[in-house]
Amino acid sequence: MMNCPNCKGIDIGKISDTEYYCWQCCIQMIQKKQRINIYEIEADGSLSSLDDLFNKDELTQTWG
């Protein structure tokens, strides 16, 4: 079971094979090989990276 790196919630929706969405804190996660990138969805629909807020371990958990 995957947990959201931000809120530790398990209410994760799958958008595509590599893209996930946390319904609790409304962030998007994109899996890239052995790590994930975390994004906040702006009001205009664009993505802004939140990777700076997380440590390496949190961004390298294996998903899926």
**Which residues contact Zn ion (rule: CB under 5 A)?**
4, 6-7, 9, 22, 24-25
Q: How far is the CB of 11 from Zn ion (least distance, A)?
A: 8
Which two structure tokens, joined as six digits, stand for 54?
Answer: 């997380």
Q: What span, in angstroms and rounded, lies between the C-alpha atoms of 3 and 64? A: 11
Query: Is-contact 4 22, C-beta < 8 A?
Result: yes
CB of 28 to Zn ion, least distance (A): 10
Across-strand partners of 37? 30
Comparison of 4 and 36: residue with beta carbon closer to Zn ion: 4
At closest approach, how far in Å is the CB of 42 from Zn ion? 17
